[in-house]
Structure 1
């Protein structure tokens, strides 16, 4: 389903324009956490360092749930030359602010991976575990995210060319508390957090994009 917001449709139109030009190797699919790679204060330098050389497009839209991403993917031009890879990070808004159960949210993530493979059968898809939220280990959001991520390996294992990777521990300290330096608002990575994220997936992207 689409979101009824002017900025959202304007951003979708902008992405349609970029996709129409073709020649994209990597799709970065997600919500505000991915969207923030365009934010000069937190992610843009990291994007320019790690993802511009990979010929990536940012398909992150702040506030999106899995159903919004599915609609967006349905309403993008299909590239004649298929991208080599896609990274998917989505689901946090389904549970933490939405009404989905962790299992429903995980099934939404599975549907997105399946949709990407339907459109581009030879493309590799890297599904990231939803990043941890909130400082404390016993916060309900943290528990919901752990539950969602626990469903994903099983749900994704039958999809050829789809890999699951949980880099969440990279944002935690030795006691499991969320790093204030990497996620100051307990949800969105800082510039340091974006750098840690980019570094954590760099080996997978190298494999994915060199094939």
Structure 2
């Protein structure tokens, strides 16, 4: 339905000769391994006092249990996922009644031209649904990481620093909903306000040093206690 509306809007503009260009986006997009990942998550036994890390490939690309030395840390990252995908699979997380949920999501929404207002609304829905379904779960929302275009890769994710900054400001407002905000962004910045080259393998995804810094932020901030 949304896809049809967007295409119709584009045709409306073209048909009326307006000097504007419709930005196409698709809330129904799901990554190739989305269903496979969910099936694997659902098959995983529920344990007590779980710490769930929820997000996209930046979350998916490390072993949180090993990184943090916490057997109860569970990875719920799916490469390529967007906020709509997180909402679609959120019930599995809620049903586990985890002690903590750490969320980092939104950079793929930006790359897919999903509007800021919709991303923010989805952030709020994620929080509301966890609050309603698992009231005792502590929610931690991380700000989006910077990117670095000098690698010449992942061009859809680059050149949108203003959007990252805007969404990070909106994430910080989630504190009003009794959410703990973890401001990762400044820790990863270089002098040119880009993702530090030594912390990434392609300008977006982190390398082992990047994850080591992330772990230090979580430990030093007391978020894992």
Q: What TM-score do the two structures reach when normalised by structure 1?
A: 0.80
The 3 A distance-change label for structure 1 pair 23 and 103 is same
Distance 2:169 2:46 in 1: 38
Q: Which of 50, 60, 73 is equivalent to 1:35?
A: 60
Cα distance in 2, alignment partners of residues 87 and 75 from structure 1: 15
Cα distance in 2 for partners of 1:54, 1:125 equals: 19
Superposed counterparts of 1:94-133, under 5 Å? 94-95=109-110, 97-133=111-147
Within the alignment, does 1:157 sit opposite 2:203 as a pair?
A: no
List alignment gaps of at least 5 residues for structure 2: 1-26, 151-157
Structure 1 residues 77, 5: closer, same or farther in 2, change over 3 A?
Answer: same
Residue equivalent to 2:75: 58
CA distance in structure 1 between the partners assigned to 2:129 and 2:38 by the alignment:
18
Name the CA distance, whole Å, in 1 between partners of 2:65 and 2:145.
18
RMSD over aligned Cα, in angstroms?
2.3
Contact 1:183 1:193 in 2 (8 A): yes
Tell whether 2:199 aligns with 1:173: no
Structure 1 contact 110–152 (Cα < 8 Å) conserved: no
1:7 is displaced (CA, Å) by 2.6
Which residue does 1:144 correspond to in 2? 163
Report matched runs for 1:75-86 at 5 Å: 75=92, 78-79=95-96, 82-86=97-101
The ranges of structure 1 where at least 4 consecutive aligned residues each deviate by more than 3 angstroms after the TM superposition are 1-6
Q: Is the 8 A contact 1:28 1:88 kept in 2?
A: yes
Q: Counterpart of 2:107?
A: 92
Aligned length: 192
Aligned equivalent of 1:40: none
- TM-score, reference length from structure 2: 0.76
Secondary structure of 1:59's aligned partner: strand
Structure 2 partner of 1:14? 40
Separation of aligned partners in 1, 2:132 and 2:102: 15
CA distance in 1, matches of 2:41, 2:146: 28
Give the Cα–Cα distance (whole angstroms) in 2 for the partners of residues 49 and 5 of structure 1. 25
Between the aligned partners of 1:187 and 1:196, the Cα distance in structure 2 is 15
Name the CA shift for 1:93/1:159 in 2 (closer, same or farther; >3 Å). same
